[in-house]
Amino acid sequence: MLEGRLLPPPKLRFDPAVPARTHDEAYKGLRLHGPYDASRVHIGPNSILFVFPEALRTKAQLLYKALHEGFANFPGFEAMFRVPLDKEHVSHLVVLGDVADPAVAGILYREAIAEWNRTNTGADPQLALVLVPHTDRWETESAYYEAKALFARLGLPTQMVTTELLEDEREFGWSVANIALAAFAKLGGIPWVVDVPVGDEDMILGVGRADIRTAAGTRRIFGYAIAFASNGSYRQVWGFSPVADDAAYEVCMQDAVSQALTSQADSPAGRLVVHLTKRTGWREIEAVRKAQAKVGVQMPTAFLRIDDSSLFDIADGNAQTFAPPKGLAVRLGPRRALLQSETVGPTGAPDGPLLVQLDDRSDVGPDALDGLVEQAFRLSQANWRAFNARSLPVTVAYGELLAKLVGYLEEVENWDPSSLRSDFRERPWFL
C-alpha cells in the first residue's frame, strides 16, 4: 500500500490588489480578469520591430492583424493583456534576398540587422518580432540564432515565429495566443502568478542543464540558475557561462547563488529550495554552502530532485484511459514521492509523473516533503512560455530552456553573454 493524496488545483492570480481575481486556468483567467501586472509594459511608437524577409511580407501582415484584431479564439493583444498594439506601435525591417538556404539566410539576417542598427535614428524598440525560415534547432548557422544573438547584444528581446507555423492555419490558430503571451512577458508584463499559502516565503532556485548537439558531437552543458518567488512570478535570472567541466560548474553555481542571495538581502527568504533535474551531488551542496558563507546569509536549504525521466508510472483503474488525475501525489518513502502534474489533454494521455526526491543532506527532514511537493505542483502551473506548456515546475523548465538556448548560441560568432545589459536579464528573454 502506498499513500496517495489529491492536491488542490493551484489558483492562478490575476490581480495583486484583489485576491478574488483567480482562476484554475490561465487562458480563461486572462480573458476574464486581464493580466496580473501590466504596469511595466509601455508600448510607444515603433516599440515593436517586425523583422521578416520580403517573401514573407504577406505572412507578417497576417501576424500583425492576428495580434491586433484577434484570430480564431484569441481576442487580440489589447483585449487579452489590456495593452494596445496598433500600427503606430510597429515598425519593420525587411530582409532582402533568397532565404531558402539556412546558412545564407543567417548571413542575410545578420547583415540586415547590423545595417538597421547603424542607421536607426529613432527610439530603440522594446521587442523584435522576427519571422524566420524553419530550421532544426541544432542548425546554428541560421537566421534564428543570428537574430537571437545580435538582438540580445543590443539589449532587445526577440519573439521568433517560423514559416512552418505561419503556413499552417490550424496550427497558427492555436499558436497566436502563445506568441502574444511570450511577447507580453518579454515586454516586462506579468501574465499571472500562483496563489501560495500564507507564510510561504521560500526562494526557489532552478538549475538547468542541457545536452547540445553540434557538428562536433553532443556535449552536456551546465549553466544557469533561475530564482523565483514561491508564487511563480519571474524574479531574476543569474546566468553563468555554460561549462562542461564539473569543477567550473561548482564555481559558477556558487557565484549564481551568491548573486541571488545578495539581491534579496533586504527581504530574505525563509528557506532556500534548490530544484535539480538529477540526483544532488556534493558539488551542488558545496556551492550552496560556500555561497551562503560568502554573503553571510544562513537559511535552511532543501535540495530537491525533480525528474521527469524516471521509469515510474501511475495508473488510475477507475478511469477509462487509466490516466491518473492531475495533482495526484504518491509517497514512495520518507524522502521520495511521485507527482502527476498533468492530465489528459487534446493530444491524448499525459506524460508520466515527476519523481520528487528530498536529499538527506538537506536542512529539512522528511516531514517537509509533502509541502515541497505541493510547492512544485504550484510552480508547474506558472510557465509563461505557452498556455499549453509542459507542466514541469517552472524553475526546472526555464532552467533547461535557458541552458539549451545559450548552449546553441555559444556556437554563433556574434553571441557575447558578457555584453547583456542588466535590464535585459531581468526579463524572460529566453522564452
User: CATH class for domain 39-191?
Assistant: alpha beta
Written as one letter, the residue type at 269 is A
What b-and-e string marks burial along 204-216, b requiring 16 or more CB atoms within 10 Å of the CB? bbbbbbbebbeee
Mean pLDDT, residues 82-108 taken together = 93
344 confidence band (pLDDT: 50, 70, 90): low
Among 19-23, 171-175, 287-291, the minimum mean pLDDT is found in 171-175
Mean pLDDT, residues 341-364 taken together = 81
Q: What is the pLDDT of residue 172?
A: 85
Q: Which H or E run includes 272? A: strand 272-276
Q: Between 388 and 45, whose confidence is greater?
A: 45
Q: How far is CA 365 from CA 140, 272, 282, 335, 361, in A?
A: 45, 14, 18, 8, 9
Q: Which residue pairs from 83-90 have beta carbons closer than 8 angstroms and sit at least 24 positions apart in sequence?
A: 83/38, 83/41, 83/43, 83/184, 83/187, 83/189, 84/43, 85/43, 85/48, 88/45, 88/46, 89/43, 89/44, 89/45, 89/46, 89/47, 89/48, 90/46, 90/47, 90/48, 90/49, 90/50, 90/64
- Does residue 242 have a pLDDT over 70? no
pTM reported for the whole predicted model: 0.89
Mean pLDDT, residues 205-222 taken together = 73
- Grid cell, residue 196, equals 501560495
Q: Which H or E run includes 354? A: strand 354-358
Q: How many CB atoms lie within 10 A of CB 362?
A: 22
Q: What is the pLDDT of residue 237?
A: 61
First-residue to last-residue Cα distance in the chain: 41
Query: What is the torsional sign of CA 46, 50, 51, 53?
Result: negative
Start-end of CATH 3.30.420.10 domains in the chain: 199-419
φ/ψ of 328, rounded to 5, equals: -75, 125
Fold of 199-419: Nucleotidyltransferase; domain 5 (3.30.420)
- Grid cell, residue 144, equals 534564428
- Grid cell, residue 154, equals 543590443
% of the chain with per-residue pLDDT over 70: 90
Start-end of CATH 3.40.50.2300 domains in the chain: 39-191
Residue whose grid cell is 494596445: 84
Residue 197 burial (C-beta neighbours within 10 Å; 0-12, 13-18, 19+): exposed
Specify the pairing of strand 336-339 against strand 354-358.
Answer: antiparallel
Q: What is the pLDDT of residue 164?
A: 83
Are 350 and 343 in contact by the 8 Å Cβ rule? The answer is yes
